[in-house]
Amino acid sequence: MNNFIIREAVKEDCKEIRRLIQELADFEKMPNGPQIDTKVLEDDGFNSEHPIFGCIVAEVDGENKEMIGYALYFIAYSTWMGKAIYLEDIYVSPQFRSQGLGSKLFDTIAKKGLELGCCRMDFRVLNWNPANEFYARKGAVDMTRLEGWHHYSLNKANMEKLTSKTTV
């Protein structure tokens, strides 16, 4: 059993965070999904007074401090309840799974949400991902099953198509 450190990410972590984002995309069978690079992560998360996202990282404690997991989040808003924390990604490299790291990352994001005054924590998971059982054990509710809420997304090309027709 290794010793691990869970901590807030810093700008210098962005290269390793990007590497882990790619690992996650490969696991999700979407290797061409990530379109951002290290510079975007640095700019959006660390180069402003108001960062767009926050990130918690997990690393092996020791000389090399290998980064083996991360959880990336941002603040969202609910007109019904107020601030919410949105967990965009949570990932632990395969060889370090089943050691409690995913649980520690998840719990750390929940704690961060409470510290920030959030009313809930939202996230989405692919239907085939075995982590669905993990989230249910944590107390998460599948809103599609419970209330019929579906998560939709409009990509940039469709946003541009819509706005090209809009006149003010």
pTM beyond 0.75, yes or no: yes
pLDDT bin (cut points 50, 70, 90) of residue 147 is confident
Q: What is the CATH number of the domain that holds 127?
A: 3.40.630.30
Q: Cβ distance 71 to 55 under 8 Å?
A: yes
pLDDT for position 28: 92
Q: Which of 73, 91, 135, 152 is catalytic?
A: 135
- 167 pLDDT more than 70: no
Contacts of residue 58, defined as CB under 8 A and 6 or more positions apart, other chains included, come to 4, 5, 6, 67, 68, 69, 70, 92, 96, 101, 104, 105
Q: Cβ distance 14 to 38 under 8 Å?
A: yes
Give the chain's domain count. 1
Domain hosting residue 114, numbered range: 4-164
Half-sphere exposure at residue 81, Cβ-oriented, CA atoms within 13 angstroms: 10
Give 92-116 pLDDT, tens digit per residue: 999 999 999 999 999 999 999 999 9
Instruction: Check if 86 is active-site.
Output: no
